[in-house]
Every structure is written in C-alpha cells, then in structure tokens.
Structure 1
Amino acid sequence: MDAAAVDLDRPLRLYPLTFLEEGDEVTVGRADIDSYGLFPADGAALLRRLETGETPNDAARWYNTQYGETVDMVEFLEVLEAFELLVPDGEEVAEAGAVRWQRLGRALFSPVAWVLYGLLFIAGIVAMFREPAVVPTYHNIFFTSSSLVALALGNVLGQAPWILLHESYHALAGRRLGLNSSLSIGRRFYYVVFLTKLDGLVAVPRRKRYLPMLAGMLVDVLVVTGLTLAAVPLVGSDGFAGFMGRFLLAMAFGTLLRFAWQFYFFLRTDLYYLATTVLGCNDLQTVAKGMLQNRLYGLIGRRDKIVDAETWTPRDREVARWYVWLMVTGYAVLTGLLITAVVPAAIRITEMAVRKLFSDISPLNVLDVTVFLVLNFGELILAGILAVRGYRRRTPATVS
C-alpha cells in the first residue's frame, strides 16, 4: 500500500491491534507478526480513531480540535505502513487462532505446578545437606577418566537437553500469555548462546513480563535439584550405576554454571531484561553503547561518528549514565578472564592433546584427540564466525 495514494476521505482497514499505555507512551502493534511501535499518547489516540472507522481527514480534524495542532496524515500513515498495521487492498484478514502450546504453558505455571516445584526444590536441598557428596562442585565435571572424548561429549552435549529446557520454559511462559516465540543462536562477547525471542512482551503489562524472563532460571534450579536427587542412590556404587551417578552430578554442576552466568547481565542475559523492565528502560544496552561511543569519538574529534541521541528515551539516558561504567567494567573483567584463564587453559588443553596424539598415532586415538579439540574450541570458533557475520551486516557494502 502506498500511503501517499490513500484516499483520505475513506475509512482505512487495520489489522487487529494491541495497545499498552505506559506513562506518556503507548506500545501499539500486531501480535500475529510481533510488529510493535512506541507511539506518543496523542498518536495512539489518533490511531484509535482510525481503528473505529473514521476517515483520515475526520481523524485529523478531531486531532486539531482535541490538541490544537495539525497533523500530517500522509506522514502518519507512512509510519503505520512501516509497522505493517494497514491492511493492503484486496487482502483478507484472517481471524487470529490460538497460540500453540498455550495450554501446556498454563499447566506448567499453574498453582499445582508451583507446589510441585517447591517440593522438588526442598527435597533437593535436604538431599544435599544429608549427603554432602552430591553437592555440586567443579570436581563433578571429571566424571570419567577413560576417554577425553567421553569427558568432553558428556559435559558439552550432555547440557543440550537442559539448555533446550531452559529456553522452552521461556517460550512456554510467554505462550501462556498468548505470545509467539522463536529460538535462534546468537553471541554474547565470546560466548555462543541460544536465544528465545518474545517480542510480544513489549505489549504486555510489566508485572506480567517477569515470569517469562525468569522462567529459564526457574527450571535451571529445578534441574539442579532434580539431577541431585536422582544421583543420591547411585553415588558410590560400582559399575554403570556409579558412572550414571557421577554423570548426573556433572550435568547438575554444568547447569549451575549456566545459572551463575545469568548474573553477567551486561551480556543481555535473563537478569538484564529483568533489570531493564524493573527500571523502566526501553533499550538500555544500545543507549549505553551509543553514549560510550559518543564520548570516545568526542575526545578524538570525530564528530561525524557521533550517534544521534534524539531517539533515546529520557529514562534510558538517565540509567545509562551509570550503567555504561558497569558495562565497561564487566567487559574488562571478561577480557581479563580471557587473557588470564581462557587462553592459558586453551594452551594447556592443546599441549595435553598433542602429547596424547604423539604417544599413540593409531586411528582411534587420533579421532579421540581431534573430536576432543573440536568440542573444546568449537564454541570460540563459532563465536568468532558469528562476530564476523554481525560485523559484515553492520558494514554497508561499497561499489567501486
């Protein structure tokens, strides 16, 4: 649809819209495609007039009477078109169906489920007090000494089901509210992460956003306690039972590490989104990075590189003034860990693998060492690939 060619004396067709008023701003959008925009209160009021069937010209006259100002309706319609809120000519609007897995989401966060979660947590804590051998520690990672590959496969691939469960709980907590979700792979500094997109949360009252944000950490706690309980009767046993007990404890400790990782909220973890929601921010990370960039380029006189701050909300600007230093400190700490811990560990692992390789050059041993190295360095390599791809997308192509 060409907004400039719209007959302003005829009513428009709009998709079913959601409106969420928060202070002087209103989030408006379509839940079916997760397309949302932040409108001033008067702009949302004007849109509501169009939604009721008023013609653009009638709505413009109402706006002038109500606010004492004129509005450029063509420009306003172009904004609506950019957010895909206007129905194109000839297109039929299908009724919105129920979101898949909504019933399951409601069941998993029902009062009965919360009682069961509480009992599982209490039982897990009691088991740790009664049997100190099952308390998660870093020693649990080394659940076998028979093969480097078995050790790496267990600790890396063994976490896959629990990672998927973590993201599934985010998605199902959103689906119980009728929100769509999608899963993707992303990067946070030198970490590769799975991401659950819940764009529809912006159209949900803030008090209802907390559970979808924290659902992953909730299930992490339940996984740790559940695996610990399952390991109790197996720890200390011989043979396969003892191996399974050690393996379950390794999975519990790995899950606990991922839970702790959420406190690196400057990497936009679950707790970052919780904090920005509580603080009433819109896009704190982007504003903090833009503020830091402006200060750095201002110091070296590169005014052409300074980011336009007009689009930043006052609240984001206020919080970013102190958050930017927390973000810089966090990245500095992770960089320090990279230099002092990750790189030395990588060198140590490589040396160990090389010694093992030269001690036995049989095909089976070569395969064992190769797979071990791939599992240990695969995440860093993938993070590098994602970083390069992201840089290329941000850098405009030039034609000579």
Structure 2
Amino acid sequence: MSGASRVRLHPLTRQEEGGEWIVGRIETGTFVALPAVGVRFIELIDDGYEVVDVKQRLLAEFGKEFDTDGFLGSLLDLGFVSEVDGHRVTTQTPKCTFAKVRPTHVRWLMHPATGLATALVVAASSMALAFSPELVPGPTDMIWTDRGSVFLLSQAIVAWGSIFLHELAHLFTARAVGVPGRMQFGTRLQFLCAQTDVSGIWSAPRATRMVVYLSGMAVNAVIASLGIWILHLPETHPLHAFGPLIFLTQVVLLANQFLFFMRTDVYFVAQDLAACRNLYRDASLYGRYLVRRLAGLAADDPSARLPTRERRIVRGYAYFFVPSSLICVSLFLLVTLPVMVRLVTSALGRVAAMESTAAVMDGVIVLAMVATVEVIWARAWWRRHRRRVIGVATRFFSRRGEPGT
C-alpha cells in the first residue's frame, strides 16, 4: 500500500495479554497478536492522523523507523482496512447463524445464577446415581428395540439433537457478549463433526472465553442429568427405556471433548490457558518436521521461531498429538469402519432378499441414514480441502500437458 495518505480502519478491539496485544475485528473473527508499536499505529490512524504523520510520531515515540507501508499491507490482507484515500475497501463478512438473536435475548446465559443452577442440577443427579450404582447402564442397554432402523433413528435424534444444543450453547453464550458466530459441519482428522466459529470471542476477557468454551459441555452434562432421572423412573414407565440411550450418548459426547488433539472444547481451554497462538497448527507443523527427520529428509524446525515457553508447550503437545491422531484413525479403520460395512451389507441383504415389507423398509432406512451422513461428510470435506485438491489437480494436469511427458 505504498503512497497511501489517509487510511480508515474498521472498528477493532484491543486487549493486552501476556506482554502483547490481541487486536481483531469481531465481525470477521480475525485476530492477531501485535507489539505495542503496532497498536500505537492503529490508535493514531483512528485519531485521524495521515500516514506520514503517524510514521514521524512513531519514530519520535519508539526511536526507530516503522515500516508503515508493510504494516498497512498486512492490515489490508487481514480485512482491517475500510478506506484508503477516500476509496472504499470491500471485504466479505461471514453470515451469522440465527442473526435475529440479539445479545439482550440470551444475556441470561452469562448470569452467575445460570451457572449455579447448572452446577446444582449436575451435582444432584450425580449424587442420585452414586446412591444407586445399580442403575448405571451398560452399552447394550442402549438398544431398546429389535428394529435396527428404529434404534438408529432414535440414536441419531438423541445424538444430533444433543450436538445441536451443544453448538447452540457456544453460539448463544458468545452472542450474549456481542460476538457473532457461525454453525456448520466440518471435518477433524477427516471425521465429520459439527462446529461453531466464535473466533470473535478473543475480544472478551479470558473468564468470559472459558464460559463460551465450556458451555457446550455444560449442556451435555444437563442432558445426562435428565437421563439419570429417567433411569430412576419405574421400569414400566414408557420413558424408562430411553434413559440408557440419553445418558450414555451424553457420556460419549463428553468423553470426545477430551480428545483435544482434535481441537475440541477442552483443546481450546488448554490453548487459551497455555497462552499459545495456534497450538494445533504449530504442533502439526512440528509433527511434519519430525516425520521428515525420521525419513532422513532435510527440514527446518518450525518451532524454533516461537518464544521459549510456547515452543516447549508446542513440542510437548506434538509428541502427544501425532501418536493420538494415529491411534484414533487406526481405531476408525479397525473398529468403526468394519461395523459400518457390516451394517450396510446387512441392510443391502435385507433389501435384496425381500422377505417382508418390514425387513425391506428396515434396510432402506438404514441405507438412507448412512448415505445422508456420508453426503454431509463429503460436502464438509470438500469445503475444507477444495483449494488444495484443485491446486494439486491443476499442477498434475499442467505437467501432463508439458512436452515430453
């Protein structure tokens, strides 16, 4: 942006943490860590100073030249610049999920009374289960019907309904403090997952961020408490059979959050408390570096550029991250995938045999449910990896078209 005279910026939040400043734009969820001189540059621009005056004032205040053109170019790439010399700079702002929900509608979620009520409900149900340990259900207790399609449908309703409420908790607790969010499907380690982007929460204090991170798990704990109370109903009660399904589904969902090598809620808590900028990305890069070294290939250590404390955390996380990811993928290939294949082949067999209308419908429903999940996964995977796939394909076909190939 060489030669720019007057620049206007979008409204940016600024918050000092750990000796550096977290600066960002809430609407886009883009945040960066800046030194004091960068924050001072933004303050002077917001005060209406021209770029040349800002450069002179920074030289006087900090005693060294500041690359204003380079810094402005970075701000432009981040989408922080709204106008340059009277010309508007257009940037895309992601659409919010449930945009009509205002902070005033959900502010009660951040009230201490809400947190206290949640803790009391979970504590009471936990004590009730502790006094009646014989009610703790086993995995087979979840299967409340002999019809595979009916069971899968009920399990899908409970699981995806719980996931929706989990993500809604993240969205609404963030919205309560004025931060927009977006719910969508994504992939982690190539597994389908629901996720909510509330990156703008970096504009809030750490205590508020923790509430947003943990709100989804709190919802799962409350639903698990509901399952515990259903377990205490008489066995003749119509709802009693659903108690194990509701309770164990929440247990699994809560346990999955501790797989923080997959950027779960616990991961974001750990990253924030460790004051790391991007623990997952840095650990992934360091893991690739270790693999290249084991393969005897030359590589530069990407963690060397990090501060000493952060470098130690990233390396420790990488040594956990790499084997845990391999184990998780291996379990999918050795356990989950064979079960899915058997489920599909069994359903295909029932459809092909056409022994009865009920058996055929059962098989069709199972196949439709599996196909729906796979289509959602394929769309999420393509959205995340589209650019990389297109880039690889373009390079491949470009080489195929070269003379002599």
TM bucket by the smaller chain? 0.7 to 0.9
In structure 2, the partner of 1:333 is 327
In structure 2, the partner of 1:368 is 362
Supply the distance in 1 between the matched residues of 2:118 and 2:28 (Cα, whole angstroms): 33
> 2:2 matched to 1:4?
yes
The CA deviation string for residues 52-86 of structure 1, in whole angstroms up to 9 with x for no partner, is 12221111111112222112322222222222222
Instruction: Indicate the SS of the match to 2:22.
Output: strand
Supply the distance in 2 between the matched residues of 1:297 and 1:392 (Cα, whole angstroms): 25
In structure 1, the partner of 2:242 is 247
Supply the distance in 1 between the matched residues of 2:79 and 2:348 (Cα, whole angstroms): 57
Cα distance change, pair 30–388 in 1 and its aligned pair in 2 (3 A): closer
The equivalences for 1:28-107 within 5 A come to 28-88=23-83, 89=86, 100-107=101-108
Between 99-108 and 25-34, the greater mean CA deviation after superposition: 99-108
Give me the TM-score of the superposition, normalised by structure 2: 0.84
TM-fit CA distance, 1:193: 0.9
The equivalences for 1:197-208 within 5 A come to 197-208=197-208
In structure 1, the partner of 2:116 is 115
In structure 1, the partner of 2:279 is 284
Supply the distance in 2 between the matched residues of 1:21 and 1:115 (Cα, whole angstroms): 30
Supply the distance in 1 between the matched residues of 2:289 and 2:119 (Cα, whole angstroms): 48
The equivalences for 1:371-386 within 5 A come to 371-376=365-370, 379=373, 382-383=376-377, 386=380
Cα distance change, pair 135–365 in 1 and its aligned pair in 2 (3 A): same
Give me the TM-score of the superposition, normalised by structure 1: 0.85
TM-fit CA distance, 1:153: 0.3
Cα distance change, pair 176–247 in 1 and its aligned pair in 2 (3 A): same
TM-fit CA distance, 1:208: 2.5
Q: Is the 8 A contact 1:106 1:176 kept in 2?
A: yes
TM-fit CA distance, 1:378: 5.4
> 2:168 matched to 1:174?
no
Supply the distance in 1 between the matched residues of 2:8 and 2:329 (Cα, whole angstroms): 53
In structure 2, the partner of 1:236 is 235
TM-fit CA distance, 1:99: 8.6
Query: Where do 5+ consecutive residues of structure 1 fail to align?
Result: none
Matched letter for residue 155 of structure 1: Q
Identify the match of residue 263 of structure 2 among 264, 268, 276.
Answer: 268
Q: Is the 8 A contact 1:284 1:320 kept in 2?
A: yes
Cα distance change, pair 77–332 in 1 and its aligned pair in 2 (3 A): closer
Between 154-163 and 111-120, the greater mean CA deviation after superposition: 111-120
TM-fit CA distance, 1:220: 0.7
In structure 2, the partner of 1:324 is 318
Q: Is the 8 A contact 1:287 1:312 kept in 2?
A: no
Instruction: Indicate the SS of the match to 1:26.
Output: strand
TM-fit CA distance, 1:116: 2.5
In structure 1, the partner of 2:9 is 14
Q: Is the 8 A contact 1:174 1:212 kept in 2?
A: yes
The CA deviation string for residues 243-276 of structure 1, in whole angstroms up to 9 with x for no partner, is x321243122111110111111101110011111
Supply the distance in 1 between the matched residues of 2:295 and 2:116 (Cα, whole angstroms): 59
In structure 1, the partner of 2:157 is 157
Supply the distance in 2 between the matched residues of 1:310 and 1:378 (Cα, whole angstroms): 44
The CA deviation string for residues 69-112 of structure 1, in whole angstroms up to 9 with x for no partner, is 1123222222222222222236599xxxx993323432123233
TM-fit CA distance, 1:281: 0.7
TM-fit CA distance, 1:150: 0.3
The CA deviation string for residues 135-164 of structure 1, in whole angstroms up to 9 with x for no partner, is 34313320112x111011011123222111
Cα distance change, pair 55–113 in 1 and its aligned pair in 2 (3 A): same
Between 73-82 and 381-390, the greater mean CA deviation after superposition: 381-390
Q: Is the 8 A contact 1:152 1:376 kept in 2?
A: no
Matched letter for residue 236 of structure 1: E
The equivalences for 1:190-229 within 5 A come to 190-229=190-229
The CA deviation string for residues 262-318 of structure 1, in whole angstroms up to 9 with x for no partner, is 111101110011111111111111111111212323444555x86866765554422
TM-fit CA distance, 1:189: 2.1
Between 129-138 and 203-212, the greater mean CA deviation after superposition: 129-138
Q: Is the 8 A contact 1:99 1:180 kept in 2?
A: no
Supply the distance in 2 between the matched residues of 1:79 and 1:368 (Cα, whole angstroms): 57
Matched letter for residue 220 of structure 2: D
> 2:136 matched to 1:135?
yes
Identify the match of residue 293 of structure 1 among 263, 278, 288.
Answer: 288
TM-fit CA distance, 1:132: 4.5
TM-fit CA distance, 1:50: 1.6
